[in-house]
Structure 1
Amino acid sequence: MTEKPDITALVTARICHDLASPIGAIGNGVELVELRGKSLGEEGELVKASVNATVAKLKLFRIAFGQFHAEEMLNAAEISAVQTDWNITGRIHVNFAPKKMRKTDMKTCLLILQSIQVAMSQGAKVMIAIEEGRTIIRAIGPKVTFDEALWSALTHRHITPDLPPKHVQFALLQTLDLALQLQHSSTEMTVSF
């Protein structure tokens, strides 16, 4: 019997692929204006920043919601690119210590980072490291708002049936069936797998 395709991963890949071209064209247009020595002005700078953030998010979505074989690896330059893309998209600033990582582990890290964004909406500094064979994600920020109903998907294998789309990362983490460990306080979160 053949294995069924991961529909979520295929839809994500299709959306990212179809959006990358027109968004890239807008970015190229902005770049052409700059190459001609013309000022972008306030409006143009806003378009440029939005295009850069959107391109970065598309790259991250391809990894976070994509499908990979266990042996596929990211090298130091690719990890650095993921870190750069992540850091231009929001309030959570991340530093990846590993110089090599499986794509499946990066996928898990990005889903966890999206989950941490929900709990630490005011921002955080995050360090990702590998210690004794486990990937450790430590976040420190001004405030942790811990929603037990969401995080129970990671710790107790229970997901609320009325999960909104903005929290799909919690359901996807549950499907990965990993031995996730979670600790939190009022200002810190640590998730490991």
Structure 2
Amino acid sequence: MTTSSLDLASLLCSRLCHDMLSPVGALSNGLELLADENDPEMRQRCFELLEQSARISTEKLKFFRLAFGAAGGFGERIAVGEAKVLVDALVANNARITVNWSIGSDVLPKSAIKTLLNFALMAIEALPRGGTLDLAAELRTEQIGDGTAELVVRAAGPRIAFDRDIGRALEGTMPESELSSRTAPAAMLNQLANDVGGQLQFMLEDNALVLGAVLPGA
């Protein structure tokens, strides 16, 4: 599968707009309600909803900036803590998902951080009824200036929901003509892995989804 940079960027923009529509729309609706509301308690409730929608919008934009974008302002290696904050914020309002971290390195290459964030997003979406999200990462250094980033993200819970087209895009077996905004992030990861000579894997079971990556040349 080969996808032009323009086509992939367009699909990623579509995905970003789709995911941002709900919190931004809630801001607009909240402002309309506030304009017509005179009751002090209801106005306070409107302000709380506006604050919540603004926070969610900001957190999602920060997440997508690093997960999909060029991540300007970051170096070639990024603190894992940056990714942890973004993922934890993404599930903060979902009490049905428990997040566990097992990180063996303080920093990872930008490509590994982007992969970790996108894996986390796929895993979260695979848990519509909640469950456990486990994220593990390690930078194995063979010699000075060289190393391999190893990532594993596991979603476990009832009724795992994972579109196998996303798996095809991860593997690079999906035709370019069939790509969509839903599968574009997986196609992006496939290209990132190919660029560094890495590998992506996924395993789907009845109650679990496992996503893995080996990215050499870190």
Do they fold alike, i.e. is TM over 0.5? yes
Q: Counterpart in 2 of 1:56?
A: 59
Following superposition, the deviation at residue 156 of structure 1 comes to: 4.9
Tell me: higher relative CO, structure 1 or 2? Use CA pairs within 8 A at least 6 residues apart. 2
The separation in 2 between residues aligned to 1:67 and 1:120, in whole angstroms, is: 28
Contact 1:83 1:95 in 2 (8 A): no
Counterpart check, 1:166 vs 2:182: yes
Q: Counterpart in 2 of 1:45?
A: 48
Q: 1:92 to 1:162 in 2, by over 3 A?
A: farther
Q: 1:43 to 1:81 in 2, by over 3 A?
A: same
Structure 2 length-normalised TM? 0.61
Counterpart check, 1:184 vs 2:204: yes
Following superposition, the deviation at residue 137 of structure 1 comes to: 0.8
The separation in 1 between residues aligned to 2:186 and 2:81, in whole angstroms, is: 28
Q: 1:81 to 1:118 in 2, by over 3 A?
A: closer
How many residue pairs get aligned? The number is: 169
Counterpart check, 1:119 vs 2:126: yes
Please give the secondary structure, in 1, of the residue aligned with 2:177: coil
* 1:17-51 residue CA offsets vs partner (Å, 9 max, x unmatched): xx9xxx8xx9xxxxxxxxxxx97622211111111
Please give the secondary structure, in 2, of the residue aligned with 1:88: coil
Following superposition, the deviation at residue 148 of structure 1 comes to: 2.5
Contact 1:183 1:189 in 2 (8 A): yes
RMSD: 3.6
The separation in 1 between residues aligned to 2:119 and 2:184, in whole angstroms, is: 11
The separation in 1 between residues aligned to 2:93 and 2:186, in whole angstroms, is: 19
The separation in 2 between residues aligned to 1:65 and 1:42, in whole angstroms, is: 34
Q: 1:45 to 1:8 in 2, by over 3 A?
A: same
Considering fraction of residues, name the structure with more strand: 2
* Deviation larger for 90-99 or 118-127: 90-99
* 1:125-166 residue CA offsets vs partner (Å, 9 max, x unmatched): 211112565111111121213432331122353246343323
Please give the secondary structure, in 1, of the residue aligned with 2:151: strand
Q: Counterpart in 1 of 2:87?
A: 83
Which of 112, 128, 152 is the equivalent residue of 2:168?
152
Contact 1:56 1:88 in 2 (8 A): no
Contact 1:57 1:89 in 2 (8 A): no
The separation in 2 between residues aligned to 1:185 and 1:121, in whole angstroms, is: 15
Percent of matched pairs sharing the same residue? 24
Which of 113, 135, 144 is the equivalent residue of 1:106?
113
Following superposition, the deviation at residue 56 of structure 1 comes to: 0.3
Q: 1:82 to 1:117 in 2, by over 3 A?
A: closer
Q: Counterpart in 1 of 2:70?
A: 67
The separation in 2 between residues aligned to 1:159 and 1:89, in whole angstroms, is: 36
Please give the secondary structure, in 1, of the residue aligned with 2:168: helix
Please give the secondary structure, in 2, of the residue aligned with 1:57: helix
Q: Counterpart in 2 of 1:96?
A: 101
